[in-house]
Amino acid sequence: MRLAMVTIVVATGLVCTAWAQKAPEPRQLPNGKTWTYDADAGRDIMRTCAACHGEFGGGGGGGVYPRISGMHPDYIAEQLRAFKSRARENIPMIPYANDRELPEKDVLDVSYYLAAITPPKHPPSDDVTMDAFERLTLAKQAVQISRQPGDIAAGQKLYDADCMECHARDGLGRVKKPPLAQQHVPYLRTQITLFLTGQRKHEDVDELMRPKSAKDWDNLWAYVSTLDD
């Protein structure tokens, strides 16, 4: 009974991302079988991921482990495939992201399961009427990014010129362009290093390459860290 309740809360949340509302279409797997979404399987797989990414995929470890909840399912699935093929190198995930542990069926189930969890920006406030269990669940799903030091206005200028086109004005991204808002800043900083050193591929390297001092980057992250306020 408890478990069933978790599923309902997780699947519906309080607010829902647009892509999480539609049930995914069945599709053909590489092995010729048909995949239909299995939320229970998604939750089971997530137990393994939770060790690093948190019970509801909110990330953690001081921001080393990214938030993976509430992202577009196509983005999550694509990254998992990239980890499996080692096109994206991720040493901590090697034991989990391989064909034996995570066949394509599991990639899809866990991606849609995670996409359906919309992390609130704040734990629910005391005056909201809900039962204690629901309040606790939402508090655990919440992902709140702490303000980074820097010049927010200067950071916004850089963001608008170089990043907004793809990552969107609100920082929520779109489809395979991931959200920068409500993502842990230490993780985002690491990704920039990986992009700039060619260890991970970014769609428009030119815009990242446009000269930016360490101070520019600090300002940019200061702005990005306000996007979830």
Residues that bind ligand HEC in the complex, under the rule CB under 6 A? 45, 48-49, 51-53, 64-66, 68, 76, 79-80, 90, 92-93, 96, 102, 110, 162-163, 165-167, 176-178, 180, 183, 188, 190-192, 202-204, 207-208, 220
Which residues have CB under 8 Å from 14's CB, separation 6+?
A: 118, 120, 138
Nearer to ligand HEC, 142 or 166 (CB): 166
Nearer to ligand HEC, 124 or 178 (CB): 178
The nearest distance, CB 8 to ligand HEC, in angstroms, is 21
The nearest distance, CB 121 to ligand HEC, in angstroms, is 17
Tell me which residue of 170, 166, 195 sits closest to 183, measured CA to CA. 170
Other C-beta atoms within 10 Å of 78: how many?
Answer: 18
The nearest distance, CB 64 to ligand HEC, in angstroms, is 6
Nearer to ligand HEC, 104 or 124 (CB): 104
Element (H, E) at 216: helix 214-224
The nearest distance, CB 135 to ligand HEC, in angstroms, is 26
Nearer to ligand HEC, 9 or 45 (CB): 45
Nearer to ligand HEC, 104 or 162 (CB): 162
The nearest distance, CB 127 to ligand HEC, in angstroms, is 33
Distance from C-alpha of 47 to C-alpha of 67, rounded to nearest angstrom: 15
Whats the size of the chain, residue-wise?
229
Tell me which residue of 229, 63, 226 sits closest to 151, measured CA to CA. 226
Nearer to ligand HEC, 124 or 167 (CB): 167
Which residues have CB under 8 Å from 91's CB, separation 6+?
A: none
The nearest distance, CB 212 to ligand HEC, in angstroms, is 7
Other C-beta atoms within 10 Å of 194: how many?
Answer: 16
Tokens of 214: 């360490």
Distance from C-alpha of 225 to C-alpha of 75, rounded to nearest angstrom: 21
